[in-house]
Amino acid sequence: MRRILAITMAAAAALTLATGCDTADPVADGPAPTGVSPSTSAPSASAEPSAPPSSTPTVTPSAKPKKLKSGAKGADVLALQNRLTELGYWNGKADSKFGGTTQQAVYALQKAAGIGRDGTVGPKTWKALEEGVRPKAKSTSGRVVEIDLKRQLLLLVDDGQITQIFNTSTGTNDYYEHEGQTYLADTPRGRFKVSRQIDGWRDAPLGLLWRPKYFNGGIAVHGAPSVPPYPASHGCARVSVSAMNWMWKNDALPIKTRVWVY
Q: What are the C-alpha distances in Å from 59 to residues 23, 33, 84, 146, 246? A: 45, 44, 9, 28, 25
Averaged confidence pLDDT in the chain = 85
pLDDT > 80? residue 78: yes
Query: Measured in Å, how far apart are the chain's first and last C-alpha atoms?
Result: 34
Report pLDDT for 48: 35
pLDDT of residue 15: 43
pLDDT at site 64: 61
Q: Is the pLDDT confidence value at 62 over 80?
A: no
pLDDT top residue among 25 and 50: 25
42-51, 156-165, 216-225, 242-251 — which is least confidently predicted?
Answer: 42-51
**Residue 21 burial (CB < 10 Å; 0-12/13-18/19+)?**
buried
pLDDT confidence bin for 66, thresholds 50/70/90? confident
For 222-242, the pLDDT digits (tens) are: 999 999 999 999 999 999 999
- Phi (first) and psi of residue 209, to 5 degrees: -120, 130
Residues 52-61 have pLDDT tens digits of 444 444 555 5
